[in-house]
Structure 1
Protein backbone atom coordinates (compact mmCIF):
# COMPACT_ATOMS: atom_id res chain seq x y z
CA UNK A 1 0.00 0.00 0.00
CA UNK A 2 1.07 3.59 -0.60
CA UNK A 3 3.01 5.39 2.12
CA UNK A 4 1.28 8.63 3.00
CA UNK A 5 3.35 11.16 4.92
CA UNK A 6 1.85 14.20 6.63
CA UNK A 7 4.16 17.04 7.70
CA UNK A 8 2.97 19.61 10.22
CA UNK A 9 5.08 22.67 9.40
CA UNK A 10 6.29 22.03 5.86
CA UNK A 11 8.94 24.76 5.78
CA UNK A 12 12.62 24.54 4.91
CA UNK A 13 13.29 21.12 6.46
CA UNK A 14 9.84 19.80 5.59
CA UNK A 15 10.31 20.54 1.91
CA UNK A 16 13.68 18.78 1.93
CA UNK A 17 12.04 15.77 3.55
CA UNK A 18 9.36 15.77 0.86
CA UNK A 19 11.97 16.05 -1.90
CA UNK A 20 13.80 12.98 -0.56
CA UNK A 21 10.70 10.80 -0.29
CA UNK A 22 10.94 7.16 -1.35
CA UNK A 23 9.33 6.32 -4.67
CA UNK A 24 5.59 5.93 -4.46
CA UNK A 25 5.25 8.03 -1.30
CA UNK A 26 2.58 10.74 -1.15
CA UNK A 27 3.30 13.81 0.97
CA UNK A 28 0.90 16.33 2.48
CA UNK A 29 1.91 19.27 4.64
CA UNK A 30 0.75 22.38 6.41
CA UNK A 31 1.48 26.06 6.41
CA UNK A 32 -0.08 28.86 8.46
CA UNK A 33 0.02 31.26 5.51
CA UNK A 34 -2.36 31.09 2.52
CA UNK A 35 0.36 32.83 0.49
CA UNK A 36 2.59 29.76 0.89
CA UNK A 37 0.12 27.16 -0.35
CA UNK A 38 1.40 27.40 -3.91
CA UNK A 39 5.01 26.92 -2.83
CA UNK A 40 4.00 23.65 -1.18
CA UNK A 41 2.32 22.51 -4.38
CA UNK A 42 5.49 23.32 -6.33
CA UNK A 43 7.42 21.20 -3.84
CA UNK A 44 5.14 18.24 -4.51
CA UNK A 45 3.31 18.58 -1.21
CA UNK A 46 -0.49 18.52 -1.02
CA UNK A 47 -1.08 21.75 0.92
CA UNK A 48 -3.19 22.28 4.03
CA UNK A 49 -3.74 25.37 6.16
CA UNK A 50 -3.18 24.89 9.89
CA UNK A 51 -3.83 27.85 12.18
CA UNK A 52 -2.17 26.21 15.17
CA UNK A 53 -5.43 25.51 16.97
CA UNK A 54 -7.88 23.53 14.84
CA UNK A 55 -7.80 20.85 12.16
CA UNK A 56 -9.85 21.45 9.03
CA UNK A 57 -12.06 18.64 7.76
CA UNK A 58 -9.68 18.22 4.80
CA UNK A 59 -6.72 17.85 7.14
CA UNK A 60 -8.56 15.33 9.31
CA UNK A 61 -9.39 13.32 6.19
CA UNK A 62 -5.74 13.32 5.09
CA UNK A 63 -4.59 12.28 8.56
CA UNK A 64 -6.97 9.32 8.52
CA UNK A 65 -4.94 7.84 5.65
CA UNK A 66 -1.50 8.85 6.96
CA UNK A 67 1.16 6.20 7.61
CA UNK A 68 4.01 8.49 8.77
CA UNK A 69 3.54 11.71 10.72
CA UNK A 70 6.30 14.34 10.79
CA UNK A 71 6.07 17.30 13.16
CA UNK A 72 8.23 20.33 12.36
CA UNK A 73 6.18 22.94 14.21
CA UNK A 74 7.69 24.77 17.16
CA UNK A 75 5.90 24.79 20.50
CA UNK A 76 4.53 28.08 21.77
CA UNK A 77 3.65 29.50 25.15
CA UNK A 78 0.63 27.23 25.28
CA UNK A 79 2.59 24.09 24.48
CA UNK A 80 2.79 22.02 21.33
CA UNK A 81 0.16 23.22 18.83
CA UNK A 82 -0.02 19.93 16.94
CA UNK A 83 -0.64 17.90 20.08
CA UNK A 84 -3.23 20.43 21.22
CA UNK A 85 -5.13 20.18 17.94
CA UNK A 86 -4.53 16.59 16.89
CA UNK A 87 -3.74 14.38 19.90
CA UNK A 88 -7.21 12.85 19.98
CA UNK A 89 -7.11 12.31 16.22
CA UNK A 90 -3.70 10.64 16.43
CA UNK A 91 -4.89 8.37 19.21
CA UNK A 92 -8.18 7.26 17.70
CA UNK A 93 -8.65 8.33 14.06
CA UNK A 94 -5.40 7.43 12.28
CA UNK A 95 -5.68 3.66 11.78
CA UNK A 96 -2.80 3.43 9.27
CA UNK A 97 -0.28 5.39 11.33
CA UNK A 98 3.01 3.49 11.78
CA UNK A 99 5.59 6.05 12.91
CA UNK A 100 5.97 9.60 14.20
CA UNK A 101 9.00 11.85 13.74
CA UNK A 102 9.35 14.99 15.86
CA UNK A 103 11.93 17.58 14.82
CA UNK A 104 13.50 19.12 17.92
CA UNK A 105 16.79 20.90 18.62
CA UNK A 106 20.11 20.26 20.36
CA UNK A 107 19.22 23.40 22.32
CA UNK A 108 17.45 21.08 24.77
CA UNK A 109 20.85 20.21 26.29
CA UNK A 110 21.66 23.79 27.28
CA UNK A 111 25.24 24.88 28.02
CA UNK A 112 27.97 22.32 28.70
CA UNK A 113 30.92 24.71 28.36
CA UNK A 114 32.27 22.93 25.30
CA UNK A 115 31.99 19.37 26.65
CA UNK A 116 30.56 16.49 24.61
CA UNK A 117 26.89 15.59 25.00
CA UNK A 118 24.85 12.64 23.75
CA UNK A 119 21.29 11.39 24.11
CA UNK A 120 21.97 10.17 27.65
CA UNK A 121 23.11 13.64 28.78
CA UNK A 122 20.78 15.54 31.11
CA UNK A 123 18.74 18.20 29.36
CA UNK A 124 19.11 21.51 31.15
CA UNK A 125 17.80 24.07 28.66
CA UNK A 126 18.64 27.74 29.09
CA UNK A 127 16.10 29.57 26.91
CA UNK A 128 12.34 29.53 27.18
CA UNK A 129 12.02 28.14 23.66
CA UNK A 130 14.34 25.22 24.55
CA UNK A 131 12.43 24.51 27.75
CA UNK A 132 9.27 24.32 25.63
CA UNK A 133 11.06 21.85 23.35
CA UNK A 134 11.94 19.58 26.28
CA UNK A 135 8.30 19.55 27.34
CA UNK A 136 7.14 18.87 23.78
CA UNK A 137 9.61 16.01 23.36
CA UNK A 138 8.32 14.42 26.56
CA UNK A 139 4.71 14.81 25.45
CA UNK A 140 5.33 13.19 22.05
CA UNK A 141 7.27 10.31 23.60
CA UNK A 142 4.45 9.83 26.13
CA UNK A 143 1.93 9.71 23.30
CA UNK A 144 4.04 7.07 21.62
CA UNK A 145 4.08 4.99 24.80
CA UNK A 146 0.33 5.40 25.17
CA UNK A 147 -0.47 4.41 21.57
CA UNK A 148 2.29 1.86 21.06
CA UNK A 149 3.70 3.86 18.13
CA UNK A 150 7.43 4.47 17.68
CA UNK A 151 8.23 8.16 18.11
CA UNK A 152 11.66 9.36 16.95
CA UNK A 153 12.80 12.71 18.34
CA UNK A 154 15.35 14.22 15.94
CA UNK A 155 17.47 16.76 17.81
CA UNK A 156 18.81 19.02 15.07
CA UNK A 157 21.87 21.23 15.25
CA UNK A 158 22.27 24.46 13.22
CA UNK A 159 20.46 23.93 9.92
CA UNK A 160 21.95 25.01 6.60
CA UNK A 161 21.72 24.05 2.94
CA UNK A 162 20.74 25.53 -0.41
CA UNK A 163 19.68 29.16 0.00
CA UNK A 164 20.61 29.16 3.67
CA UNK A 165 24.36 29.16 4.22
CA UNK A 166 27.53 31.23 4.62
CA UNK A 167 27.80 31.83 0.85
CA UNK A 168 24.41 33.54 0.84
CA UNK A 169 25.34 35.59 3.89
CA UNK A 170 28.60 36.69 2.25
CA UNK A 171 26.82 37.62 -0.98
CA UNK A 172 24.20 39.62 0.90
CA UNK A 173 26.78 41.31 3.13
CA UNK A 174 25.30 39.90 6.32
CA UNK A 175 28.07 37.43 7.20
CA UNK A 176 29.96 38.13 10.42
CA UNK A 177 33.06 36.60 11.94
CA UNK A 178 32.28 36.79 15.63
CA UNK A 179 35.10 35.73 17.89
CA UNK A 180 34.25 34.19 21.25
CA UNK A 181 37.06 32.16 22.80
CA UNK A 182 36.33 28.43 22.88
CA UNK A 183 32.91 28.73 21.21
CA UNK A 184 31.87 25.89 18.89
CA UNK A 185 28.66 24.83 17.18
CA UNK A 186 27.55 21.68 15.42
CA UNK A 187 25.66 21.96 12.16
CA UNK A 188 23.55 19.76 9.90
CA UNK A 189 22.91 20.03 6.17
CA UNK A 190 19.21 19.87 5.39
CA UNK A 191 19.81 16.86 3.10
CA UNK A 192 20.99 14.91 6.14
CA UNK A 193 17.90 15.91 8.10
CA UNK A 194 15.83 14.38 5.32
CA UNK A 195 18.12 11.38 4.99
CA UNK A 196 18.15 10.65 8.71
CA UNK A 197 14.39 11.01 9.00
CA UNK A 198 13.65 8.59 6.17
CA UNK A 199 16.26 6.16 7.51
CA UNK A 200 14.74 6.17 10.99
CA UNK A 201 11.22 5.92 9.59
CA UNK A 202 12.21 2.96 7.44
CA UNK A 203 13.54 1.16 10.50
CA UNK A 204 10.57 2.12 12.68
CA UNK A 205 13.08 3.57 15.15
CA UNK A 206 11.96 5.39 18.26
CA UNK A 207 13.66 7.50 20.92
CA UNK A 208 15.92 10.54 20.77
CA UNK A 209 18.60 10.93 18.10
CA UNK A 210 21.09 13.75 17.65
CA UNK A 211 21.04 14.65 13.95
CA UNK A 212 24.27 16.54 13.66
CA UNK A 213 27.60 16.58 11.85
CA UNK A 214 30.98 15.22 12.93
CA UNK A 215 32.72 18.54 13.50
CA UNK A 216 31.71 21.02 16.19
CA UNK A 217 33.66 24.06 15.00
CA UNK A 218 34.05 27.79 15.66
CA UNK A 219 31.49 29.75 13.61
CA UNK A 220 34.09 32.17 12.25
CA UNK A 221 35.90 29.23 10.61
CA UNK A 222 32.82 28.44 8.53
CA UNK A 223 32.61 32.00 7.21
CA UNK A 224 36.33 32.08 6.42
CA UNK A 225 36.14 28.76 4.55
CA UNK A 226 33.17 29.92 2.49
CA UNK A 227 35.00 33.15 1.64
CA UNK A 228 38.03 31.17 0.44
CA UNK A 229 35.84 29.06 -1.83
CA UNK A 230 34.16 32.18 -3.23
CA UNK A 231 37.49 33.93 -3.70
CA UNK A 232 36.39 36.94 -1.66
CA UNK A 233 37.81 38.62 1.42
CA UNK A 234 36.20 37.43 4.64
CA UNK A 235 34.51 40.04 6.82
CA UNK A 236 36.62 41.46 9.64
CA UNK A 237 36.76 39.69 12.97
CA UNK A 238 34.44 41.16 15.60
CA UNK A 239 34.85 40.47 19.32
CA UNK A 240 31.65 38.89 20.58
CA UNK A 241 31.45 41.34 23.47
CA UNK A 242 31.08 44.35 21.13
CA UNK A 243 28.97 42.70 18.40
CA UNK A 244 25.52 44.07 17.55
CA UNK A 245 23.27 41.01 17.79
CA UNK A 246 19.61 40.29 18.25
CA UNK A 247 18.67 38.76 21.61
CA UNK A 248 18.03 35.41 19.90
CA UNK A 249 21.39 35.43 18.09
CA UNK A 250 23.17 36.36 21.31
CA UNK A 251 21.41 33.56 23.16
CA UNK A 252 22.91 30.97 20.78
CA UNK A 253 26.35 32.00 21.98
CA UNK A 254 25.30 31.46 25.58
CA UNK A 255 25.38 27.70 24.93
CA UNK A 256 28.58 25.85 24.11
CA UNK A 257 28.71 22.09 23.58
CA UNK A 258 29.97 19.37 21.28
CA UNK A 259 27.13 17.11 20.16
CA UNK A 260 27.74 13.44 19.42
CA UNK A 261 25.99 11.67 16.53
CA UNK A 262 27.22 8.18 17.53
CA UNK A 263 23.73 6.86 18.25
CA UNK A 264 22.43 7.88 14.81
CA UNK A 265 25.42 6.19 13.17
CA UNK A 266 24.90 3.08 15.29
CA UNK A 267 21.36 2.99 13.90
CA UNK A 268 22.97 2.61 10.46
CA UNK A 269 22.73 6.13 9.05
CA UNK A 270 25.70 7.46 7.07
CA UNK A 271 25.97 11.23 6.78
CA UNK A 272 25.96 12.67 3.30
CA UNK A 273 27.94 15.67 4.55
CA UNK A 274 30.16 14.87 7.52
CA UNK A 275 31.16 18.49 8.13
CA UNK A 276 30.77 22.02 6.81
CA UNK A 277 33.80 21.71 4.52
CA UNK A 278 32.29 18.78 2.63
CA UNK A 279 28.90 20.47 2.37
CA UNK A 280 30.14 23.92 1.35
CA UNK A 281 32.52 22.40 -1.16
CA UNK A 282 29.74 20.36 -2.77
CA UNK A 283 27.29 23.29 -2.87
CA UNK A 284 29.90 25.60 -4.37
CA UNK A 285 30.90 23.01 -6.98
CA UNK A 286 27.37 22.30 -8.19
CA UNK A 287 25.96 25.80 -7.71
CA UNK A 288 23.17 24.64 -5.41
CA UNK A 289 24.14 27.09 -2.66
CA UNK A 290 21.81 29.78 -3.99
CA UNK A 291 18.77 27.55 -3.57
CA UNK A 292 15.56 27.89 -5.53
CA UNK A 293 14.63 31.35 -4.28
CA UNK A 294 12.04 30.06 -1.83
CA UNK A 295 11.36 32.44 1.04
CA UNK A 296 11.64 29.55 3.49
CA UNK A 297 15.28 29.13 2.48
CA UNK A 298 16.01 32.73 3.35
CA UNK A 299 14.69 32.56 6.88
CA UNK A 300 16.97 33.84 9.66
CA UNK A 301 19.76 31.67 10.97
CA UNK A 302 22.98 32.03 12.92
CA UNK A 303 25.70 34.19 11.42
CA UNK A 304 27.67 31.18 10.23
Structure 2
Protein backbone atom coordinates (compact mmCIF):
# COMPACT_ATOMS: atom_id res chain seq x y z
CA UNK A 1 0.00 0.00 0.00
CA UNK A 2 1.28 3.44 -0.94
CA UNK A 3 -0.20 6.91 -1.05
CA UNK A 4 0.42 10.62 -0.72
CA UNK A 5 0.63 11.83 2.87
CA UNK A 6 0.14 15.48 3.76
CA UNK A 7 1.91 16.00 7.08
CA UNK A 8 0.89 19.29 8.70
CA UNK A 9 3.38 20.38 11.33
CA UNK A 10 5.88 17.69 10.32
CA UNK A 11 7.87 17.09 13.50
CA UNK A 12 9.58 14.43 15.60
CA UNK A 13 6.87 11.75 15.44
CA UNK A 14 5.93 12.40 11.81
CA UNK A 15 9.58 12.15 10.79
CA UNK A 16 9.73 8.69 12.36
CA UNK A 17 6.61 7.62 10.44
CA UNK A 18 8.24 8.88 7.23
CA UNK A 19 11.09 6.41 7.79
CA UNK A 20 8.53 3.61 7.49
CA UNK A 21 6.48 4.97 4.61
CA UNK A 22 9.05 6.43 2.21
CA UNK A 23 10.86 3.10 1.61
CA UNK A 24 7.46 1.67 0.68
CA UNK A 25 7.07 4.26 -2.08
CA UNK A 26 4.97 6.91 -0.34
CA UNK A 27 5.12 10.57 -1.30
CA UNK A 28 5.11 12.84 1.75
CA UNK A 29 4.55 16.59 1.80
CA UNK A 30 5.43 18.20 5.14
CA UNK A 31 5.01 21.69 6.53
CA UNK A 32 7.47 23.44 8.80
CA UNK A 33 8.23 26.95 9.98
CA UNK A 34 12.00 26.48 9.79
CA UNK A 35 14.34 26.52 6.80
CA UNK A 36 16.78 24.32 8.73
CA UNK A 37 14.07 21.73 9.38
CA UNK A 38 13.05 21.95 5.73
CA UNK A 39 16.59 20.97 4.73
CA UNK A 40 16.48 17.97 7.08
CA UNK A 41 13.09 16.95 5.69
CA UNK A 42 14.41 17.12 2.15
CA UNK A 43 17.41 14.99 3.11
CA UNK A 44 14.98 12.41 4.55
CA UNK A 45 12.94 12.27 1.35
CA UNK A 46 10.06 14.48 2.50
CA UNK A 47 8.92 17.34 0.25
CA UNK A 48 9.12 20.42 2.51
CA UNK A 49 6.80 23.42 2.51
CA UNK A 50 7.87 26.32 4.72
CA UNK A 51 4.74 27.95 6.16
CA UNK A 52 2.78 28.30 2.91
CA UNK A 53 -0.04 30.82 3.23
CA UNK A 54 -2.28 28.78 0.95
CA UNK A 55 -2.39 25.10 0.10
CA UNK A 56 -0.10 24.33 -2.88
CA UNK A 57 -1.72 22.61 -5.86
CA UNK A 58 0.15 19.33 -5.28
CA UNK A 59 -1.52 18.93 -1.87
CA UNK A 60 -4.76 18.18 -3.71
CA UNK A 61 -3.30 14.75 -4.54
CA UNK A 62 -3.24 13.76 -0.86
CA UNK A 63 -4.73 10.40 0.05
CA UNK A 64 -3.76 10.62 3.74
CA UNK A 65 -3.48 13.46 6.25
CA UNK A 66 -1.49 13.68 9.49
CA UNK A 67 -1.81 16.65 11.85
CA UNK A 68 0.97 17.03 14.41
CA UNK A 69 0.83 20.76 15.21
CA UNK A 70 -0.43 21.66 18.67
CA UNK A 71 -3.29 24.08 19.29
CA UNK A 72 -3.18 27.44 21.06
CA UNK A 73 -5.78 29.57 22.79
CA UNK A 74 -7.26 30.52 19.40
CA UNK A 75 -7.73 26.91 18.31
CA UNK A 76 -5.95 24.68 15.83
CA UNK A 77 -3.41 26.58 13.70
CA UNK A 78 -3.70 24.21 10.75
CA UNK A 79 -7.46 24.62 10.57
CA UNK A 80 -7.01 28.39 10.73
CA UNK A 81 -4.56 28.24 7.85
CA UNK A 82 -6.06 25.50 5.68
CA UNK A 83 -9.58 24.79 6.97
CA UNK A 84 -11.47 25.29 3.68
CA UNK A 85 -8.91 23.22 1.78
CA UNK A 86 -9.11 20.38 4.31
CA UNK A 87 -12.90 20.40 4.07
CA UNK A 88 -12.53 20.22 0.29
CA UNK A 89 -10.23 17.17 0.23
CA UNK A 90 -11.81 15.35 3.21
CA UNK A 91 -14.06 13.08 1.09
CA UNK A 92 -11.12 11.81 -1.02
CA UNK A 93 -8.91 10.88 1.95
CA UNK A 94 -8.47 7.26 2.96
CA UNK A 95 -7.18 8.17 6.42
CA UNK A 96 -6.58 11.18 8.62
CA UNK A 97 -4.72 11.18 11.92
CA UNK A 98 -4.60 13.82 14.65
CA UNK A 99 -1.83 13.64 17.25
CA UNK A 100 -3.35 14.69 20.56
CA UNK A 101 -2.21 14.06 24.12
CA UNK A 102 -3.23 12.04 27.17
CA UNK A 103 -3.45 15.41 28.91
CA UNK A 104 -7.08 15.54 27.74
CA UNK A 105 -7.98 13.14 30.57
CA UNK A 106 -6.80 15.45 33.33
CA UNK A 107 -5.75 14.32 36.80
CA UNK A 108 -6.83 10.92 38.15
CA UNK A 109 -4.63 10.67 41.24
CA UNK A 110 -2.63 7.83 39.71
CA UNK A 111 -5.65 5.76 38.68
CA UNK A 112 -6.07 4.15 35.27
CA UNK A 113 -7.70 5.82 32.27
CA UNK A 114 -8.65 4.45 28.84
CA UNK A 115 -10.12 5.83 25.62
CA UNK A 116 -13.62 5.89 27.13
CA UNK A 117 -12.61 7.97 30.16
CA UNK A 118 -14.31 11.38 30.29
CA UNK A 119 -12.21 14.31 29.08
CA UNK A 120 -11.63 16.50 32.13
CA UNK A 121 -8.38 18.40 31.50
CA UNK A 122 -7.06 20.53 34.33
CA UNK A 123 -4.34 22.41 32.42
CA UNK A 124 -4.72 25.15 29.84
CA UNK A 125 -2.92 23.06 27.20
CA UNK A 126 -5.18 20.08 27.94
CA UNK A 127 -8.28 22.21 27.43
CA UNK A 128 -6.90 23.48 24.14
CA UNK A 129 -6.39 19.87 23.03
CA UNK A 130 -9.96 18.88 23.86
CA UNK A 131 -11.22 21.83 21.84
CA UNK A 132 -8.92 20.97 18.93
CA UNK A 133 -10.04 17.34 18.89
CA UNK A 134 -13.64 18.56 18.65
CA UNK A 135 -12.74 20.93 15.80
CA UNK A 136 -11.29 18.10 13.75
CA UNK A 137 -14.14 15.73 14.61
CA UNK A 138 -16.63 18.31 13.32
CA UNK A 139 -15.29 18.22 9.74
CA UNK A 140 -17.73 16.40 7.48
CA UNK A 141 -16.50 13.26 5.68
CA UNK A 142 -13.05 13.37 7.30
CA UNK A 143 -11.90 9.80 8.11
CA UNK A 144 -10.39 10.94 11.40
CA UNK A 145 -8.37 8.88 13.88
CA UNK A 146 -7.25 10.49 17.13
CA UNK A 147 -4.02 9.40 18.79
CA UNK A 148 -3.54 10.51 22.40
CA UNK A 149 0.19 10.46 23.06
CA UNK A 150 1.86 10.07 26.43
CA UNK A 151 5.27 11.65 27.10
CA UNK A 152 7.47 11.13 24.04
CA UNK A 153 11.10 10.06 24.20
CA UNK A 154 13.57 8.60 21.74
CA UNK A 155 16.83 9.46 19.95
CA UNK A 156 17.82 12.99 20.89
CA UNK A 157 15.18 13.07 23.61
CA UNK A 158 16.62 10.88 26.33
CA UNK A 159 17.82 11.72 29.85
CA UNK A 160 21.45 10.68 29.41
CA UNK A 161 22.95 14.06 28.51
CA UNK A 162 21.55 15.68 31.67
CA UNK A 163 22.63 12.74 33.82
CA UNK A 164 26.16 12.92 32.42
CA UNK A 165 26.27 16.69 32.90
CA UNK A 166 25.10 16.42 36.48
CA UNK A 167 22.02 18.56 35.81
CA UNK A 168 19.42 15.78 36.03
CA UNK A 169 17.15 15.91 39.07
CA UNK A 170 14.88 13.39 40.70
CA UNK A 171 11.81 15.44 41.55
CA UNK A 172 9.81 13.64 44.22
CA UNK A 173 6.06 14.09 44.39
CA UNK A 174 4.46 11.18 46.30
CA UNK A 175 2.01 9.22 44.13
CA UNK A 176 3.11 10.91 40.90
CA UNK A 177 3.24 8.64 37.83
CA UNK A 178 3.59 9.37 34.13
CA UNK A 179 3.01 7.26 31.06
CA UNK A 180 5.47 7.55 28.19
CA UNK A 181 6.01 6.25 24.65
CA UNK A 182 9.05 5.71 22.42
CA UNK A 183 8.84 7.60 19.12
CA UNK A 184 9.39 4.40 17.12
CA UNK A 185 6.32 2.90 18.76
CA UNK A 186 4.32 6.00 17.84
CA UNK A 187 5.38 5.52 14.23
CA UNK A 188 4.48 1.83 14.14
CA UNK A 189 1.04 2.53 15.62
CA UNK A 190 0.37 5.20 12.99
CA UNK A 191 1.52 2.85 10.22
CA UNK A 192 -0.70 0.08 11.59
CA UNK A 193 -3.69 2.42 11.64
CA UNK A 194 -3.02 3.55 8.08
CA UNK A 195 -3.02 -0.09 7.03
CA UNK A 196 -6.24 -0.75 8.97
CA UNK A 197 -8.37 2.42 8.86
CA UNK A 198 -11.22 2.76 11.36
CA UNK A 199 -12.59 6.30 11.04
CA UNK A 200 -13.78 7.68 14.35
CA UNK A 201 -11.35 5.56 16.37
CA UNK A 202 -9.40 6.95 19.31
CA UNK A 203 -6.17 5.34 20.54
CA UNK A 204 -3.97 5.89 23.57
CA UNK A 205 -0.27 5.65 22.70
CA UNK A 206 1.85 4.71 25.69
CA UNK A 207 3.97 1.83 26.93
CA UNK A 208 3.07 -0.83 29.47
CA UNK A 209 4.69 0.71 32.54
CA UNK A 210 3.49 4.03 33.95
CA UNK A 211 6.22 5.02 36.37
CA UNK A 212 7.37 7.81 38.68
CA UNK A 213 9.68 10.19 36.80
CA UNK A 214 12.45 9.80 39.39
CA UNK A 215 12.60 6.06 38.61
CA UNK A 216 13.39 6.79 34.97
CA UNK A 217 16.17 9.24 35.85
CA UNK A 218 17.54 6.79 38.40
CA UNK A 219 17.58 3.95 35.88
CA UNK A 220 19.39 6.15 33.36
CA UNK A 221 22.07 6.89 35.95
CA UNK A 222 22.42 3.18 36.72
CA UNK A 223 22.87 2.37 33.02
CA UNK A 224 25.63 4.96 32.84
CA UNK A 225 27.26 3.73 36.03
CA UNK A 226 26.89 7.18 37.59
CA UNK A 227 25.62 8.21 41.04
CA UNK A 228 21.90 8.73 41.45
CA UNK A 229 20.98 12.40 40.99
CA UNK A 230 19.83 13.97 44.24
CA UNK A 231 16.20 13.89 45.26
CA UNK A 232 14.33 17.20 45.40
CA UNK A 233 10.86 17.64 46.93
CA UNK A 234 8.40 18.86 44.32
CA UNK A 235 7.09 21.57 46.65
CA UNK A 236 10.44 23.35 46.91
CA UNK A 237 12.09 22.41 43.60
CA UNK A 238 13.10 25.28 41.32
CA UNK A 239 11.09 24.55 38.16
CA UNK A 240 9.71 26.51 35.25
CA UNK A 241 5.93 26.98 35.19
CA UNK A 242 5.81 24.64 32.17
CA UNK A 243 7.75 21.89 33.95
CA UNK A 244 5.70 22.29 37.11
CA UNK A 245 2.45 22.05 35.15
CA UNK A 246 3.29 18.49 34.07
CA UNK A 247 3.13 17.45 37.71
CA UNK A 248 -0.41 18.81 38.06
CA UNK A 249 -1.79 15.52 36.69
CA UNK A 250 -1.07 11.92 37.64
CA UNK A 251 -2.59 8.95 35.85
CA UNK A 252 -1.87 5.53 34.43
CA UNK A 253 -2.89 5.21 30.78
CA UNK A 254 -4.14 1.92 29.31
CA UNK A 255 -2.86 0.91 25.86
CA UNK A 256 -4.89 -2.27 25.26
CA UNK A 257 -6.64 -0.88 22.18
CA UNK A 258 -3.54 -0.45 20.02
CA UNK A 259 -2.77 -4.12 20.69
CA UNK A 260 -6.24 -5.61 20.23
CA UNK A 261 -7.48 -3.40 17.37
CA UNK A 262 -4.25 -2.75 15.48
CA UNK A 263 -2.19 -5.81 16.40
CA UNK A 264 0.71 -3.70 17.61
CA UNK A 265 3.49 -5.27 19.66
CA UNK A 266 5.51 -2.54 21.29
CA UNK A 267 9.21 -2.45 20.47
CA UNK A 268 9.85 -0.80 23.82
CA UNK A 269 7.21 -2.06 26.29
CA UNK A 270 8.81 -0.16 29.20
CA UNK A 271 11.28 2.66 29.66
CA UNK A 272 13.94 0.10 30.57
CA UNK A 273 14.08 -1.36 27.05
CA UNK A 274 13.81 2.11 25.57
CA UNK A 275 16.67 3.61 27.58
CA UNK A 276 18.90 0.59 26.95
CA UNK A 277 18.38 1.02 23.21
CA UNK A 278 19.03 4.77 23.33
CA UNK A 279 22.27 4.26 25.22
CA UNK A 280 23.40 1.55 22.80
CA UNK A 281 22.77 3.90 19.88
CA UNK A 282 24.64 6.75 21.51
CA UNK A 283 27.63 4.53 22.21
CA UNK A 284 27.57 3.15 18.67
CA UNK A 285 27.46 6.64 17.17
CA UNK A 286 30.32 7.78 19.41
CA UNK A 287 32.47 4.89 18.13
CA UNK A 288 31.67 5.46 14.46
| Residue 248 of structure 2: aligned partner | 254
- Equivalent residues in 2 for 1:121-200, closer than 5 Å: 121-143=117-139, 146-147=140-141, 149-200=142-193
Contact 2:181 2:207 in 1 (8 A): yes
Q: d(CA) in 2 for partners of 1:262 and 1:247?
A: 33
Q: Cα 1:241–1:30, aligned 2, differ >3 Å: closer, same or farther? A: same
Q: d(CA) in 2 for partners of 1:101 and 1:139?
A: 13
Q: d(CA) in 2 for partners of 1:36 and 1:281?
A: 28
**2:56 alignment partner, SS class:** helix
User: How many angstroms does 1:290 deviate by?
Assistant: 7.5
| Residue 85 of structure 2: aligned partner | 89
- Equivalent residues in 2 for 1:3-18, closer than 5 Å: 3-18=3-18
User: How many angstroms does 1:49 deviate by?
Assistant: 1.3
Q: d(CA) in 1 for partners of 2:268 and 2:284?
A: 14
Matched, 1:282 2:277: yes
Q: Cα 1:48–1:179, aligned 2, differ >3 Å: closer, same or farther? A: same
**1:204 alignment partner, SS class:** coil
**1:119 alignment partner, SS class:** coil
Contact 1:224 1:234 in 2 (8 A): yes
C-alpha RMSD over aligned residues: 1.9
Q: d(CA) in 2 for partners of 1:172 and 1:100?
A: 41
Q: d(CA) in 2 for partners of 1:290 and 1:8?
A: 31
User: How many angstroms does 1:34 deviate by?
Assistant: 2.6
User: How many angstroms does 1:285 deviate by?
Assistant: 2.6
User: How many angstroms does 1:283 deviate by?
Assistant: 2.1
The TM-score normalised by the length of structure 1 is: 0.88
Contact 2:104 2:126 in 1 (8 A): yes
Q: Cα 1:7–1:288, aligned 2, differ >3 Å: closer, same or farther? A: farther
Contact 1:17 1:197 in 2 (8 A): yes
Q: d(CA) in 2 for partners of 1:236 and 1:71?
A: 39
**1:20 alignment partner, SS class:** helix
Q: Cα 1:128–1:92, aligned 2, differ >3 Å: closer, same or farther? A: same
User: How many angstroms does 1:243 deviate by?
Assistant: 0.6
| Residue 273 of structure 1: aligned partner | 268
Unaligned regions of 5+ residues in structure 2, if any?
none
Q: d(CA) in 1 for partners of 2:256 and 2:2?
A: 32
| Residue 208 of structure 2: aligned partner | 214
User: How many angstroms does 1:100 deviate by?
Assistant: 0.5
The TM-score normalised by the length of structure 2 is: 0.93
**1:159 alignment partner, SS class:** strand
Contact 1:163 1:290 in 2 (8 A): no
Unaligned regions of 5+ residues in structure 1, if any?
292-304
Aligned length: 283
**1:47 alignment partner, SS class:** strand
Q: d(CA) in 1 for partners of 2:170 and 2:284?
A: 20
Q: d(CA) in 2 for partners of 1:156 and 1:111?
A: 15
**2:275 alignment partner, SS class:** helix
Contact 1:155 1:209 in 2 (8 A): yes
Q: Deviations over 1:96-129 (max 9, x none)?
A: 4211000000000010111100011011111111
User: How many angstroms does 1:89 deviate by?
Assistant: 1.1
Matched, 1:63 2:59: yes
